[in-house]
Structure 1
Amino acid sequence: GTSKQIKIKRWEQKGEPTKCSKCSGTGEMRFVQRSFLGQVVNVQPCRSCSGLGYMGGREQKTTQLKIDIPKGVSEGNYMTLNGEGDHSIKGGSNGDLIIYFKEKEHNLFIRSDNDIYIDCWIDFPDAVIGSEVKVPTLSGNVKMKIPAGIENGQLLRLKDKGIAELNRHKIGDQYVRINIQTPRKINNKIKSILEELKLNLGKEPSFKKFNN
């Protein structure tokens, strides 16, 4: 969770409202039309007072509010601040302010429910013999072991490193997708080592059914 300052525009009290002279405070205009079926009454909102029944008594202002955002909120969630909406010119309590949350895209993580995902690129030797890397998380860097023989595209899980579930104590996980990068340019020494490795492995290419 966090706290944020937000700017809103709302109607605030200014002076006393007066009853609309056009609709006499009803907020409606009635028009009688005659047809072969008889009289038809057409009711429309009063254009002079926008259907409020009163004129004046408030003005639109921009104000700042501090809101406390609970941990675990996601796109489409909302919170209601009672009494922080528009001033009612008819008397009574002010309206409520309803705040909808929209997620900003992160430069590293992708969110899925309460889990988050990140890509990690490693060299071929690290994939073969294993290694240890520092992985960025929402709470800072942590060490993660990469097992020997890991395959390209394999997911490793960091337990409880995701996002807290809204109004609950459960926390999601972070998944790290391993990508084995192939160097495009190598020197003669590395080429010689790889050729020797290829001879020692002695494996032919294998094929499997395409799975998308």
Structure 2
Amino acid sequence: MTQITLSYGSDSELSLKKGDQRPALELILERGRIHTETVDLTDAAEVRLYVQNESTGDLLVDQAMTIANAAAGEVEYEFGANDIVQGGQNEFEVVVEWSDGEPESWPKRGYGVIHAAEPLGRELDPADIDDPDLSVGVLTATEVRSNTLGGRSGNSLEMLSDLDLTSHVIQNQDLQTVASESDLVDGEPGFYEVTNTGQVIYFDGDTSTNSSTN
């Protein structure tokens, strides 16, 4: 927590990044040029902060400050999300409106300065990155390869590796189930799961060419 003394000169500075809301602006108001004294704010009706961007001339802040310690001249202001929205040099002054209606400004000469540096690119918020979906869904067979050219029998077509049909499903291939290869029927080609062997085979629809069904 850093308090800035605001008195005669304009050498009071605060540095932050554009859009930052911390640290708060904490000031001690003083009078005097050489021999200074703390300003007692007990009789202050309001203390107001004005912040203006030096380059654009836009007034960024016109808000009441909190009197943290009246007798010690301590005031503070917590920046809002829409306050320091312009980078570069932002000049500020504090105006005390006394109970008799008369205003008094600090610093007495020039302005305090809030240096607002441009932040780095922050378009991608890590909180917006979803965790990857590593779950295994449906296994789809899109190709069956033969290791025998011109083969007609079901045994000439072999799966490259065993399939665990309890956790995967072959889609778009009209997979049917038979108890054994002897249950294959002429004229009904396709992919079959043979339950007594646990294998998946391709049957060409002709049992006379498949020795295992004879």
Q: Do they fold alike, i.e. is TM over 0.5?
A: no
TM-score range (shorter-chain normalised) is under 0.3
TM-score (norm 2): 0.24
TM-score (norm 1): 0.25
